[in-house]
Structure 1
Amino acid sequence: MTLKQIEVFLAVAATRSFSRGGEAVSLAQSTVSQHIRALEEELGVMLFNRNTTNISLTEGGRLFLEQARRIWRTCDKAQTAMKRFAGLDEAVLRVGASSTLAISIIPELLGKFIARYPGVLLELQQNDSHQTIRSLIDDEVELALTGGKFDEDHVVFEKLFDEQILLVAPANREFTSAILNNRADRKNIPLIVREPGSGTRQAVEKSLRKAGLSLTDFLIVAQLGSEEAIRRAVLGGAGCAFISSLVVSHELSSRQLIEYTLDGIQIERSFYLASREGHNLSPAALAFVQAIQDVLALRLTP
């Protein structure tokens, strides 16, 4: 049974004529007869009483008419929904993002994106980079924005931009670069760190290892699950932290936080847009990707 057969059946039932039914669906009478005959053979039921002057529905035809109308209405609704989906009039977009991007880039683009596509409902899952990729692999999100690139099969990573990770402390703490660069003194400096799965922590540990250092060279006083939580903790005087420059730019410019340096260490990382290999992105996802690129273009414009 095909949708075309159902369409032809409904047209013939409505017009009580094979020829007029054919005109309604732009088919020759002979083609209409072939469709009806094939449908009757598949169902094993005569659908129309035929005579030389007119045709009428059999009892089986009346029963099938009710079901055919229901099928056609469902198909029509499906077509309408797909048209709305393709036109971004009605869509749900699920995006996973590492905490750094969730509190920096996404809020910046959200207002313009919603204004342009009011029919798109954005569902954001915020997590560390490793768990964000896991959500992508498990088909819980369509796109993933991460602070690191992972060796995962069937995941495509597209680099978005680079940023620096800074060592910061509250302005009222009496740290100095000399103290921070002295191995013995560092053991007494309270440090707040991200969880092991975060892109920030991985970038920090990698850079420290290259310099023969480790996070354990500091006095680790807390492990928190987001950049925002760490920012607040540092502002509250809990200690110093390695944190994204995107997250603390305002606090640095207002001198609420002070940036310190470790000799010979500059920590950089890249942010990536990840999607599943071989999966076509929905229109809403494509529009979101364009919105991200627009925001980054403005950021990078001199």
Structure 2
Amino acid sequence: MDLNKLRTFCSIAEKGNFSAVAEDLFMSQSAVSQQIQALERRYGVVLFDRGSKGATLTEPGRILYNKARKILDIEDEINQEFDDLRGLKGGELHVGASTTVGNFLMPFYLGEFKKRYPEVKVSMMVENTRIIEEQLLAGLFPLAVVEHETQNSSLVKEPIERDRLVLFVSPEHRWADRESVTREELMEEPFITRELGSGTREVMEEKLKESGVDKLNVTMELGNSAAITTAVAAGLGVSILSRRVVHAQLESNMLQQVPIEGVRLEREFYLVTVADRYSSPASLKFREMLVSGDATSPLPDVR
């Protein structure tokens, strides 16, 4: 169906004059007449009564006008919504985030995005890194931010912000007043860690192994950072998490940070997308904001 012919037809129906429509459309009157004749041939009906007072719709013409007007209104709505998407006056942003990023960084990132584009609806899924990568590949969202460098060749990764992992203990722990502990001491102490699939756990184990810490004395595995900080504060063991996660507890002396001799645990947070997959205007703008460094967390990272 030729929408241009329908638009010409509706204009004549509304103005009642072929020559006026031809002038509005910068067309010759014969070209306008040819478009109407083409519609009449297509449907096998006469659409207008042409008289000295202008053009009036026949009964078939009124039927076509009512349907054509709806079609053209829908077309106009589609164009308007696409214009809104391009200008981010509407649309949606769906993102994924691994646990630490989702709880401690993404609220700042998404808050900044909403300040810039308040009419875009935002939603976020938070899981551990392994699950987020699986969901990203399955198409549940177009991009994600994770805390471990992906090894999946189907994913494109871009570093966006640095982070530091720190060892922390209860204020009553015998290490609380120590200037540092050795790697050997760390390997013997009851240790509380995140679950398998956690990006924090993978980075921690990888960096510790590079520093000569081959094995930890893991006595508890917990599925989120809040449970770990509570367990450490209760004296059930020591742990290593992002400094962003324990910042408030360290500042209030509910937990104590203890350096590990000769070990500095740093990492990057990564924006990940699927190679060659369509990205919405909102997700493109969000990516641009993160990669450019325009939005960063006010929480400390690598002090």
TM-score when scaled to structure 2? 0.83
Partner of 1:102: 102
Q: Distance in 2 between matches of 1:158 and 1:71?
A: 43
Alignment check: 8 A CA contact 1:194 1:201 kept: yes
Where structure 2 has 5 or more consecutive residues not aligned to the other structure, the ranges are none
Q: Distance in 2 between matches of 1:129 and 1:218?
A: 23
Q: Distance in 2 between matches of 1:12 and 1:29?
A: 11
Partner of 1:242: 240
Instruction: Tell me whether 1:285 sits opposite 2:288 in the alignment.
Output: no
Alignment check: 8 A CA contact 1:181 1:263 kept: no
TM-score when scaled to structure 1? 0.84
**Residues 169 and 110 (structure 1), Cα distance of their counterparts in 2 relative to 1, 3 Å cut:** same
Alignment check: 8 A CA contact 1:11 1:25 kept: no
Q: What does 1:128-207 correspond to in 2, within 5 Å?
A: 128-175=128-175, 181-182=184-185, 186=188, 189-207=189-207
Instruction: Name the structure where helix makes up a greater proportion of residues.
Output: 1
Number of residue pairs aligned between Structure 1 and Structure 2? 296
Q: CA deviation at 1:144?
A: 0.5
Alignment check: 8 A CA contact 2:108 2:297 kept: no
Q: CA deviation at 1:297?
A: 9.1
Partner of 1:259: 257
Which amino acid in the other structure matches residue 244 of structure 2? L
Alignment check: 8 A CA contact 1:145 1:273 kept: yes
Q: CA deviation at 1:63?
A: 1.3
Partner of 1:222: 221
Higher deviation after alignment, 1-10 or 271-280: 271-280
Higher deviation after alignment, 155-164 or 226-235: 226-235
Identical counterparts, % of pairs: 30
Q: Distance in 2 between matches of 1:233 and 1:34?
A: 81
Q: CA deviation at 1:16?
A: 2.7
Q: Distance in 1 between matches of 2:153 and 2:34?
A: 50
Q: CA deviation at 1:7?
A: 0.7
Partner of 2:126: 126
Q: Distance in 2 between matches of 1:172 and 1:56?
A: 92
Which amino acid in the other structure matches residue 250 of structure 1? A
Alignment check: 8 A CA contact 1:181 1:262 kept: no
**Residues 195 and 297 (structure 1), Cα distance of their counterparts in 2 relative to 1, 3 Å cut:** closer
**Residues 258 and 6 (structure 1), Cα distance of their counterparts in 2 relative to 1, 3 Å cut:** same
Q: Distance in 2 between matches of 1:214 and 1:39?
A: 79
Q: CA RMSD, aligned part only?
A: 3.0
